[in-house]
Each structure stands twice: as structure tokens, then as C-alpha cells.
Structure 1
Amino acid sequence: MSKKSFFINHSIKSLYIGLILISFIGAVFFINPNEKTVEKKSKKKYQAIELDKLIEKADKYYDEEKLDSSYYFYNKVLPMYDPEIDYTKYVYTLSSMAEIQTLIGNFIESEELLTKTLPYLSKIKEPIYARNVYSNMGMNYYNTYDFENSLFYHTKALKLPGTPYKKAIVLNDIARVYMEQNRYDIAAEILEMLTARKIVYKREPLLSDYFYASLQNSLGVCYFNLKKPKALDLYLKSLATTLQGTNKFILLNNYKSLSDYYMENNPELALQYAKKSYETAREVNANSAKMELLAYLIKLSKGSELKKYTIDYIKLTDSVINSRKSARNQFTNIKYYSKINKDENLHLKAEKAENELKLQQHKTSNIISGVIITFILTLCIILSFYLSIKGRKQKNNAIQESETRISNKLRNELLNEVQNVLTYAKNNDLETADNKNELLESLEKIYSQTRNISKENSDIITDKRYSLTLKNMISTFKTTDTNVFTNGLTDINWIKIDKNKKIIIYRVIQELLVNMKKHSSATLAGVNFKVIKKNIIINYTDNGKGVNMNQVSKSGLQIIENRILNVKGEIQFESNPDNGFKISIKIPF
């Protein structure tokens, strides 16, 4: 929970205390108990009907693949549920929102939503809710390449009661994780067990055929990598089943697997299957699959086709970057307007309680005195927290602006690389082996960056995993030419550190390392952490070419300095040409 949310919740809690006290006094002296009970039941029943209608509308939009509208209504109804009473619907709504976040590539935000369901899963008797939560968490970790945690949550889902078909789906997910880890022997054992007999889904038997065909194709991939002779037979059986139906997603995997199979021994046939797979991916508009298949086609093509597929790849990369950024902005707006609606509802509730209070003032002077005192105290508490919130809001806005700047910077850097590759493809002879290899290496780099674009733009994890997140970020700057080491990072109790300060520390170190990588030509960089008298001390140093502090504009360093000063920290720079760069930062707890 952010500090902003913390203070808002405490303000609302204070308001609720006053309102509850007022309602209690009114109930004792003025309201007929029977009438009040009837009115409460009627209102609760009416509200439940309205909430069910909103959920139905959200489900309908989800089925129609209108994810933004679906998310809007789920997000609208979520604050209206009391998780201690309506825990089943609360978990269902959060899970649905998390699935949408996963579909648009926001895996970290999806995980945060799913984490909120965990305290209530034990209260729900139906295992389907827990299984969906654990499976979705497993998929999020799978998509962010954290395979150990992915296996952990898929295994938790497998242990829950369920039909053979449901368990088979979870086992298939587990096999996919092992395949991604190149542990094809373990994955093959699972898939052999699943394909030994066809598992029928009684509600929709056609899905059983598609699922079985998918299992055959996956088992074929395992056999192919294990160099077992049955791979082709499994591919062809899976393809025969898929061609009889309408599931294009399995079909494109069938064609891709056959293209892999013939890559070395029959490149022409491999090219034909790669083209079929690519055309199928275009039919279902599967951008990730299209990008992967275009990379295949570039490796297999020559002449004008090679240039055509290269340009298509670059255009698709740019389109994916823009669409993902647009999706993030769209969902940010939904949450923003949802917050406005919530604040307006709270304001209306406060006004209603105040009006009811005025109607009761003639009953007794003692009650009037008590009500006035309670009301004044409530206003004082709200005002006190409002002033605190206002100050923190300014800090949060500054951090948000900084995060947006970094996100745009990442995108612009990737677009520059795309433009450079496009220029290279137009101006060089791609029939030459060296030129073609250099082009493939550049495209592979762009593809890798694009696959991780959602992770690079995701919010920074600030919970108990923060130290690992920071360490992983620093490790990404290590190369064969540059060694980056850390010291004392895990000795700090990061849980006690304010969230905004952790974000600022993360971004400052990230910006220093980016500048080191781009400008300093350093071969060695170090980041040292320690705690002295309730202050975090961070010392950064590298052996790069350094800068002349009197001749170089401080605009770049000013950004880092402003971040530190924003949390009442201190910063000192030390650098000379050809003598490395040093910076010392002190941030209070």
C-alpha cells in the first residue's frame, strides 16, 4: 500500500468513526428498531441486485474482448464489496481484473491484484477460485521468467480438488514451465501421462479434441529436442486433428513445430510451414507469435522476401510498443476516474449523515452537544490528514513525472534502434553472410527488448522483494567488458524504508548505471550500501573517463540531485577527466 493510500484510508476511517457514532445515537433515541431492520434489509437486497448487474455487464464485455470496458466495471464494483462478508464476489472480481492485466502484459500489476485475494481463499469452499488465483499467479511468473515461483503456484493449484480435465490443464501448464527451462525429459513424462488416454471435458467435448491436439504437439516438441524419432508422427497427428476444427492458435503452433523440424534438413519445406504459421498468426492477430515467426522467416528467406519480412518485423515492433503504451495509459485513466467516483460517493455520504444529524437536534440538548463535539473533532482530523495528504501528493506527482520520463526514454531508445536497423536493411546487401548475421543479431536484440517492454515499464516492487529487485536491476548492467558489483545491499532492512524513498533509490542508481554504460567507458563500477545513524549511505564509483564538473552542464546530474533533495537527503559529486566518477548519497530513514 502506498503512503498516499495509507493517509487517505486513515482520513476515511476517522470520518467513519464520527458517522458511526452519530448513527448509533440516532438509533438509540429516535429510530424504531423494527423499521430500521426492515430498511437495512431492503437497501442491502437492492444494492446486491445492482452489484450483480454490474458484474454481469463486466463479464459480457470480457467475453466480447472489450477489455477496457470490462475492467472499468470490475474496478467500479470492487470498492462496493465488503471483503469480510462478500469475500467470494470480492475474490472473483479481483481475479477477473488480474486476468485482464495479464492479457495486456501488466504481469506485475496482475500479481498485486491476485495477492489481495490470498487472505480470503480459505473462506471459500469452492476450489475453483483458489485454483484460478494460483494458476494465474503461475502464469504471471512464467511470463516474467521466474520459473521457480511459477512451478510453486501451479503445484498449489494442482493439489486442489478438481475434475480430471481441470487437473490436466494445470499439469500442462507445469509441463510448459519445464519446457521453457529446457528440462524436456521431465516435461515429456508429464505429457506422456496426459496423452496416454484422452481426457474428455463433458461440458464442451470439442475442447477436449483441441486440448489433446495441443498436448500431442507439445510432446512432439519435447521429443524433437530430446532427438527421439516419434516427434514428426506426433506433429502430424496433432495437425490432422486441428485442421478439422477452427482453433487457429493450436494450428499456428503446429506449423511452427513442423518448420523447426525441417529447419536443418529441408529448409524449403521449413520455409513453407513458417509462412503458413505466420499467415495463421495474422488471422488471429497474435502479435507475439507474428514477431517470433517473422524472425524465423528472416532466417530462412533470401532476396526481396528477406527485405520484406525485415521491414514487416520492424513495423510490427513499433506497433506493439505503441499499443502497449496506449493500453497502460488507458487503464491508468480508468483507475483515476474510478478514484474520483469513490471520493464523490464518500462526500455524498458525509453530506447525508450531516443532514440527518440536523433533523435530530431538537430531541435533546445533550445529544446536540455530543453530536457537535463529534462533528468538530471529525472535521479537525480530516483537515489534519488533508494537509498531510496534500504534501505527499506533490511528492507523488513528482515521482510519477519522473517515472513517465523514464518510460518515454526507454521507448525512444528502442525506437532509435529500430530506425537504425531499418536504415541498415535498406542500405546494405543482405545477401552477404556478414551483413545478414549482423542484421539477425540486431533484430534478436530488438525482439528481446520488446518482449521485456512491459516488465521495464512496470511499477517498481517495493515490498519484501525490493532488495532482490534492486539487485537484479543492477546485475543487468554487467557485461563481458564491464563488471558491476554491490556491497551491503542485503544488510539493510528495506521493509522499514518509505516506499517513495525506495523508488528514488532505485531510479537514481539506475540512472547512474545508464550514464556509466553510455558515456564513461568504465570497466568497473561499484555500489556500496551501509547504514549510519539512521541514514542510508550509498557510495557509487566507477573507473570511467570522468567529467570536468566546471565545464559540463549539471542538467543531467540535477535530475539526480533533485530526487535526493526531495526526500531531504544529501548528495556530493566528485569527478575529473580521466580519473573516474564518484558520488555519495545520504538519505534519512
Structure 2
Amino acid sequence: MVSKRIQFYFRIIFIFLLFFACQKKKDFGEKITNNKVKIEKTINAADLHYKNKQLDSAFYLYNKARANCNLKQDAEDYVRCMYYMAEIQQSHADFIGSTKTALETIPLLYQLNNSEYVWSIYSVLGRNYYYTYDYPKAIYYYSKAFTIKTDRLSKLEAQNNIAVIYLKQKKFKEALQIFLQINKEEILQQKPKHYAKILDYIGYCYYELQDPKALLFYQMSIKLKSKVKDVDGLGRTYYNLAEYYQKKKATLSMMYAKLSYENYTLSDNTDERLNALNFIIKNSNSAIESKERALIYIKLVDSIYEARQKAKNQFAKIKYDTKREKDENLLLKTQKIKNELQLEKQGSRNIISYVIIILASLLIVFLYFYLTARTNRQKFEATYQSETRISKKLHDELANDVYHTLAFVENRNLSVEENRNHLLQKLEDIYSRTRDISQENNSVLNNQNYIVSLKELISGFNTSDTNLLINGLDEILWNTINENKKASVYRSIQELLVNMKKHSEATLVVITFKESHNNLILNYSDNGKGIDMTKMVLKNGLHNLENRIHSLHGEIDIYSDFGKGFKVLIKLPL
């Protein structure tokens, strides 16, 4: 029986722990999913702004999404956001800021499965170093981009970028070799805009190498760019032609320079527009035109500087505000994590407490059955020994004395005073012996087992029909109360419970013990049928109860009404 109950409790523990672990896993999974959805939604909104060239809004949203990324779980989203932020900073000529943004992703690139973002980060770094004239580093990152496993067009772009750096380093032969190799790629020839750009670079290399084939490639490039309406590309080719005719035909050179300026203006390419304007100012034969163009140049430079400075400050502020907000959020998250850890610890402690309680319950059940069986066995043995001892005493002492007394009565004349006195003495001895045996058997009222005896007395009246409650019994210092008062309390409770059992028909009995102002207060109440106080006559039990309390200088008050239960208040001085 006990074994089955223990198995049942262990099953409950196992089910509870399994449910708790599953609930934690579910909560954690839901938290990750919700954060992932939030990041993707923000990135999609940023992509839309980027596509519509609303770069300020796009930068803000990419930065917001980045701040919500977990570097272990959302590395790809983080790198994607940082790449576009670096691109936007680069488009505003904030090359240092763009480089710093891109470099932050380097430790995460090895985690990515998508090589496209790795290639993009290396490319944006290559362009930043190119624009800041750090050509060795530019070549380094373009070379890394070239080694990435990606599509053929991306590899050709990396090669193209390396060749462009060679142009800046005046390594025209090396650059030309790369451009001619790229020019043979069929995939590139299918993209007119990109192919025209390569033709333009080949023409420039031939121009620098003083090869007349330069003009042919420029013309082929213009034809393709005009066909696809590549306004910005036309600006580049026209500028190259202006340089080409600069020493040969000044008028034609100026015409191409102005065409370059116009196309760069249409494409909103500010930097190249300034280069074309600068070329016109330097080569113009008209002082008035040069002055007008110079004023435009100065105004344009100032506006560009102001706009780019504002953009740099704005991007820096966005990143700073986000960092500050992230730091603040981090503090809040740290506090939240501490609270969650505290709750988890509390939860763990609760689980341990539940396990301990259940194990303790199992132990209590086992001890209950064991101790109950042992107590019953000890009671049976004690009862048997007590009955045997009392029987022996009654036989050895009282029976013999009674026999001798009967014999004395039969053989003596009781009219003689001496015989009467002897008979009375014999009877007194028999009474004394009977009282000694009785007191010996009732010693339980006067020893350290008093509380146990009192509880056993009360529990004997606690049946399926009568519910009996005790309050304050264990709070009384019984070892400080003298034996007569403890015996009186015991007999008083016994009288009240016997009276309740015989007459009241109560279903609920409450007995309360309390010490107050050096008095022991016993409060008894039941919900029985009660009695009419005006017609109440104390019978033997209650009369003895009153006499017993008054003999100890105590007080007793009885309250009752017909149908409203029975109450007794006893006060004994300590």
C-alpha cells in the first residue's frame, strides 16, 4: 500500500518537472520568433526606403533593426543592415564612418551561410579605401571579394575594381590587361551598361599609353550608353573625350567638357560634376565665363560640404542615439534578466520545496503507519501488563483483606466497640489500598505525557458525526501548572464531552485554551440543541464540574439557549 502511494507521488513529480521544462522551452522559442519577426519587418521597411532613395529614413530603420539583432542568432540580418548603412554613409562621402560601420561586421562574416553579404562588405571596404587613396588596402579587400565563392559577374566586378586602382596608380599596362580579359566575357557583353563601362576604361588605358585605338573604344562606349540612356556613363565618356582632345582640338575638348557637365548634372553626380566644371574653368578662353563657372563651383562646393557634413553628423547622431538607447535598454534588460533569474531561482527553489514536501509527505505516511502499528502494539502490551498487575494486586492484597474482613465479621460480635473499631480500621485499609491502585493507574494525568493524554481524550469524541477542533493547547506551558489544576482541567473536559455526547447532538465542538493575566482560560462551545437557561437544573456531571472549579478558586460561566448550542467559560488562576 505504502509502495504504491510512493510510486504515485514520484509520477506526479516527474510530470510536473516535465511540464515546467516544456513551458520554459516554449516561452524561449516564442520570444526568439517574435524578435525575428520584428527585425524582418523593420528591414523590409528600410529596404523600401532605400529603393526609393529615401536614404535618411533607410539608415534609421537599418540601424534600428541592427540594434535589435542578437549577434549569435541574427548574424546575417545584422551584417545585412550594417552593409546598407555603410553604403548609405559612402554615398554621402562619409568614407571613414562607412569604413568603421563595415569593419564592425568582420568578426561575424565566418558565421554567414550567404556569401553575397560577405562579398558586399569586402567591396564596400575596398571602395572606401579607394576613395581615401589607401590603394594597397583597397586592393586587399577587392582581392578578398574576388576569392569569395559567388556568381561570375561579382568576380568580374572585383577584377574591374582592382584594375581601376591600377589606373590611379598609373599602372596602365596592368590595368589594360585586366580590362581586355574582362571584355571577352560573354556574360558581360549581355549587359550593355557594364560592357560600355569596360570599353570606356580600355579607351582610357590606350589614351594614357598614347595608343590611337582609344578613340575607337570611346566611340563604341558612347554608342552603347546612348542606346541604354546611361546619362551618368555618358558624362564619364564625354569627360574622357574632353581630355583626349584637350591638346589637339580645344574647341572640341570644351564641347565634350560641357556635355560631361550637363550629363553629370542630370544624373546628380556631384563629385564628377565638379570635376567637369573645374575642367571648363581651367580651359575656358572667356574670363567672364570662367568667373561665372568659378562662382557656381564655389557655391556647389559649399553646398556639398554643408550637405555632407550634415549627413555625417546625422548618421553619427543616429548611431549615437541608438547606442545610448541600446545601453539604456541593456541596463533595463540586465535588470530584467536579473529579475528573471531571480524568478527562475525562486521557481527552482519552489520545485525543490515541492519535491521535499512530497518526499516528506511520503516519509510521514510511512512513519504514520509504522508508529501507529507500534503504538497500538505498545498500548496492547501496556494494557495487558497493567491489567495483569492490577489483577495480581487485587488478588494478592484486596481479595485477602476482604476475605479476612468477612471472616472477622462472621466470628466477632460487632456490638462490642473494640470489634467495631477493628472492622472500621480494616475497611479503611481496604479503601486506602483501593485508592492507591486507582491513583497508580491514573498517573498519566500527572506526568510529562499530559498533553498526549488530553489529546487522546478529546480525539476519542471526534467521530464521523462530530467534528472536534482544538486551539491553543500546545501554546500553554503545562509543566508550570500544578498537578491538581491539570487534573481538574482533564476531568472538566471529560465531563463536558460526555455531557455533549449524551445530550447535545452537536456536529461541531470547539475547545480553546489561552493564558491571560496569569489565568488559564478554557472556552468550550458546541452547536448542539442547547438548553433553556431559565429551566436548567445542574445534574451530577455539571454540578461536579462547578464544585471542582470553585474548589480551586476558579470561575465558571455557562451560556446556552434552546437550539443555539452550549457554551462554557472556565477561568483558573495559575
The higher-RCO structure (CA 8 Å, 6+ apart) is 1
Per-residue CA deviations over 1:65-104 (Å, capped at 9, x if unaligned) read 2221111111112132222232222222222222222111
Q: How many angstroms apart in 2 are the aligned matches of 1:257 and 1:228?
A: 14
CA contact (8 A) 1:198 1:212 kept: no
CA contact (8 A) 2:89 2:312 kept: no
CA contact (8 A) 1:111 1:140 kept: yes
- 2:260 matched residue in structure 1: 277
- Matching residue's letter, 2:311: A
Q: How many angstroms apart in 1 are the aligned matches of 2:118 and 2:72?
A: 17
Residue 298 in 1 paired to residue 281 in 2? Answer: yes
Which aligned pairs between 1:135-534 and structure 2 lie closer than 5 A? 135-200=123-188, 208-301=191-284, 302-349=286-333, 352=336, 357=342
Q: TM-score, normalised by structure 1?
A: 0.53
- Number of equivalences: 336
What secondary structure sits across from 2:187 in the alignment? coil
- Matching residue's letter, 1:177: I
- 2:114 matched residue in structure 1: 126
Per-residue CA deviations over 1:348-403 (Å, capped at 9, x if unaligned) read 435655776589979969999xxxxxxxxxxxxxxxxxxxxxxxxxxxxxxxxxxx
Per the alignment, do residues 88 and 354 of structure 1 end up closer, same or farther by CA in structure 2, a change over 3 Å counting? Answer: closer
Choose from 43, 67, 74 the match for 1:55.
Answer: 43
The alpha carbon displacement at 1:244 in A equals 1.0
Q: How many angstroms apart in 1 are the aligned matches of 2:60 and 2:54?
A: 10
Q: How many angstroms apart in 1 are the aligned matches of 2:130 and 2:347?
A: 65
Identity %: 32
Structure having the higher Rg? 2
- Matching residue's letter, 1:237: M
Choose from 52, 66, 69 the match for 2:57.
Answer: 69
CA contact (8 A) 1:258 1:270 kept: yes
- Matching residue's letter, 1:261: Y
Q: Please list every run of at least 4 consecutive aligned residues from structure 1 whose deviation after the TM superposition is greater than 4 angstroms.
A: 28-31, 350-368
CA contact (8 A) 1:74 1:97 kept: yes
Per-residue CA deviations over 1:176-217 (Å, capped at 9, x if unaligned) read 10001111111011111111344248xxx5xx1000000001
Per the alignment, do residues 305 and 32 of structure 1 end up closer, same or farther by CA in structure 2, a change over 3 Å counting? Answer: same
Per the alignment, do residues 140 and 37 of structure 1 end up closer, same or farther by CA in structure 2, a change over 3 Å counting? Answer: same
Which structure 1 residue ranges, 5 or more long, are not aligned? 1-27, 369-589
The alpha carbon displacement at 1:238 in A equals 0.3
Q: How many angstroms apart in 1 are the aligned matches of 2:250 and 2:347?
A: 92
What secondary structure sits across from 1:32 in the alignment? helix
Q: How many angstroms apart in 1 are the aligned matches of 2:141 and 2:327?
A: 36
CA contact (8 A) 1:138 1:152 kept: yes
The alpha carbon displacement at 1:239 in A equals 0.1
- 2:448 matched residue in structure 1: none
Which structure 2 residue ranges, 5 or more long, are not aligned? 1-15, 354-574
Per the alignment, do residues 295 and 265 of structure 1 end up closer, same or farther by CA in structure 2, a change over 3 Å counting? Answer: same
Q: How many angstroms apart in 1 are the aligned matches of 2:350 and 2:195?
A: 77
- Matching residue's letter, 2:68: M
- 2:471 matched residue in structure 1: none
CA contact (8 A) 1:239 1:251 kept: yes
- Matching residue's letter, 2:231: K
- Matching residue's letter, 2:214: A
The alpha carbon displacement at 1:120 in A equals 2.4
What secondary structure sits across from 1:125 in the alignment? coil
Q: How many angstroms apart in 2 are the aligned matches of 1:96 and 1:367?
A: 51
Q: How many angstroms apart in 2 are the aligned matches of 1:89 and 1:194?
A: 33
Per-residue CA deviations over 1:513-572 (Å, capped at 9, x if unaligned) read xxxxxxxxxxxxxxxxxxxxxxxxxxxxxxxxxxxxxxxxxxxxxxxxxxxxxxxxxxxx
CA contact (8 A) 2:67 2:322 kept: no
Per the alignment, do residues 172 and 46 of structure 1 end up closer, same or farther by CA in structure 2, a change over 3 Å counting? Answer: same
Q: TM-score, normalised by structure 2?
A: 0.55
What secondary structure sits across from 2:211 in the alignment? coil
CA contact (8 A) 1:137 1:150 kept: yes
CA contact (8 A) 2:188 2:194 kept: no
The alpha carbon displacement at 1:337 in A equals 2.5
What secondary structure sits across from 2:93 in the alignment? coil
